[in-house]
Amino acid sequence: MTVHAFEDDNTEYVSFAHRVFSRHDCKKYLDRNVIARGYQPVHITVSNHSNRYLYFSTSHFSFPCADVECVAHSVHTSTAGRAVGYGVAGLFIWPFLIPAIVDGVGSAEANQALDADFERKSVEDQEMRPFSVLNGLFFVPVEYFTPKFSLFLVDVKTREKFKLDTCRPALKI
């Protein structure tokens, strides 16, 4: 992660830093390999070192971003096969119904926790206050991801756009 700072402390600027997750990072930070499911996670930090209100949106990247709910759903734990197996066995031997019920309820609760975790760690469209920092994950379908990308921020008052990219991650405004 590279962070840029201007030499003059009075200079107003915007900047960003990012980290493209590896499979290992996915398992460590998300407890799931979302890359294997077709999504590239990227951690981003956007810094607003100005007195402007800036609008950030995941639709302002040079590639399409995936909806966090779709990504989380793609890595949900499914115990349907096991629950059906226990359920069929439970028709003949009733104690097998207990693990079928427990598996179904347990995976539903785990999936709800996973959804909440992904939502909490993700960036969302928002207005950035002056001298603030935005921090979190976004997901890109792997077929659209490129390591060199751009994003733009929009001044809420003037609608002026500020383009940042991986080759130029900081911009005086």
Query: What per-residue confidence (pLDDT) applies to 82?
Result: 47
In this structure, whether the domain defined by 13-75+122-172 belongs to CATH 2.60.40 is answered with: yes
Q: Is the pLDDT of residue 21 over 70?
A: yes
Query: What per-residue confidence (pLDDT) applies to 93?
Result: 60
Beta bridge partners of 172: 13
Residues in Cβ contact with 132 at an 8 Å cutoff, skipping those fewer than 6 apart: 47, 48
Closest of 64, 151, 78, 76 to residue 118, by C-alpha: 76
Residues 70-105: pLDDT tens digits? 999 999 876 544 445 545 544 566 455 455 555 555
Q: pTM surpassing 0.75?
A: yes
Q: For residue 114, what pLDDT band results from cuts at 50, 70 and 90? A: confident
Q: Is 18 helix (H, G, I), strand (E, B) or coil?
A: strand
Q: For residue 108, what pLDDT band results from cuts at 50, 70 and 90? A: confident
Report domain extents, the chain. Answer: 13-75+122-172
Work out the average pLDDT over 145-165. Answer: 97
